[in-house]
Chain A
Amino acid sequence: MSMRKNIVIVGGGPAGTIAANLLAKKLKKEEASITVIDKTGKHVYEPGLLYVTLGDQDPKGIVKDEKDILNKKVRLIVNEATKIDTKKKMVEVKSGDRFNYDYLIIATGARLCPEEVPGLKEGAYHFYTIEEAIRLKKALGNFEKGKIVIGVGGVPYKCPPAPAEITCFLDYKLRKRKIRERVDIHYLSPLPRVFPIESIDPIVKEIFDKEEIKYTTFFNVESVDPVRKEVHSLEGETIGYDLLILIPPHRGSKVIEDSGLGDRGGWVPTDRYTLKVKGYDDVYSIGDATDLPISKSGAAAHYEAKVVANNIASEIKGIESHDKYNGKVICMCDTGNKAIYLNFDYDHPPKPGHPRWIYRLLKLAFNKLYWHTVAKARFL
Chain B
Amino acid sequence: MELIRAIREAKVGEIIGVLSSDTGSKRDIPLWVSKAGHKLIGIYEKAGYAEIVVQKMK
Chain A residues in the interface with B (C-beta under 8 A): 155-156, 190-192, 198, 218, 220, 234-236, 264
**B-chain residues with CB within 8 Å of residue A192 when the two chains form the complex:** 27-28, 31-32
How far is it, in angstroms, between the C-alpha of A295 and the C-alpha of B46 when the chains are bound?
Answer: 29
B12 contacts the other chain (CB 8 A): no
B37 touches A218 (CB 8 A): no
Given A192-B28, A192-B31, A218-B31, CB of A236 within 8 Å of CB of B36? yes
Given A155-B1, A218-B36, CB of A234 within 8 Å of CB of B7? yes
Listed from nearest, the 8 A-B pairs whose CB atoms lie closest are A235-B36, A192-B28, A218-B35, A235-B35, A218-B32, A155-B1, A220-B4, A192-B31
How far is it, in angstroms, between the C-alpha of A234 and the C-alpha of B1 when the chains are bound?
Answer: 12
B37 touches A235 (CB 8 A): yes
Instruction: Give 10 A-B pairs besides A190-B4, A192-B28, A192-B32 with Cβ atoms closer than 8 angstroms.
Output: A198-B24, A218-B32, A218-B36, A220-B4, A234-B7, A234-B36, A235-B35, A235-B36, A236-B36, A264-B5
How far is it, in angstroms, between the C-alpha of A156 and the C-alpha of B2 when the chains are bound?
Answer: 11
B24 touches A234 (CB 8 A): no
User: What is the chain A residue whose CB lies nearest that of B32?
Assistant: A218
How far is it, in angstroms, between the C-alpha of A295 and the C-alpha of B37 when the chains are bound?
Answer: 30
B4 to chain A, nearest CB (A): 6
Please indicate which of the listed interface residues A190, A198, A234 has the most CB atoms of chain B within 10 Å of its own CB.
Answer: A234
Given A192-B31, A192-B32, A218-B32, CB of A236 within 8 Å of CB of B24? no
**A-chain residues with CB within 8 Å of residue B28 when the two chains form the complex:** 191-192
A-B contact pairs, 9 of them (CB 8 A): A190-B4, A192-B27, A192-B28, A192-B31, A218-B31, A218-B36, A235-B32, A235-B36, A235-B37
B8 touches A234 (CB 8 A): yes
How far is it, in angstroms, between the C-alpha of A190 and the C-alpha of B4 when the chains are bound?
Answer: 10
Interface residues of B in 1-40 (CB under 8 A from A): 1, 4-5, 7-8, 24, 27-28, 31-32, 35-37
B4 touches A234 (CB 8 A): yes
**B-chain residues with CB within 8 Å of residue A190 when the two chains form the complex:** 4
How far is it, in angstroms, between the C-alpha of A155 and the C-alpha of B8 when the chains are bound?
Answer: 13
A287 to chain B, nearest CB (A): 20
**A-chain residues with CB within 8 Å of residue B32 when the two chains form the complex:** 192, 218, 235
A236 touches B4 (CB 8 A): no
A292 to chain B, nearest CB (A): 14
**A-chain residues with CB within 8 Å of residue B5 when the two chains form the complex:** 264
How far is it, in angstroms, between the C-alpha of A191 and the C-alpha of B4 when the chains are bound?
Answer: 11
How far is it, in angstroms, between the C-alpha of A264 and the C-alpha of B4 when the chains are bound?
Answer: 14
**A-chain residues with CB within 8 Å of residue B36 when the two chains form the complex:** 218, 234-236
**B-chain residues with CB within 8 Å of residue A235 when the two chains form the complex:** 32, 35-37
A346 to chain B, nearest CB (A): 13
How far is it, in angstroms, between the C-alpha of A235 and the C-alpha of B37 when the chains are bound?
Answer: 7
How far is it, in angstroms, between the C-alpha of A234 and the C-alpha of B3 when the chains are bound?
Answer: 12
**A-chain residues with CB within 8 Å of residue B8 when the two chains form the complex:** 234
**B-chain residues with CB within 8 Å of residue A155 when the two chains form the complex:** 1
**B-chain residues with CB within 8 Å of residue A218 when the two chains form the complex:** 31-32, 35-36
User: What is the chain A residue whose CB lies nearest that of B24?
Assistant: A198
**A-chain residues with CB within 8 Å of residue B27 when the two chains form the complex:** 192
A35 to chain B, nearest CB (A): 36
User: What is the chain A residue whose CB lies nearest that of B9?
Assistant: A264
B39 to chain A, nearest CB (A): 14
B17 to chain A, nearest CB (A): 17
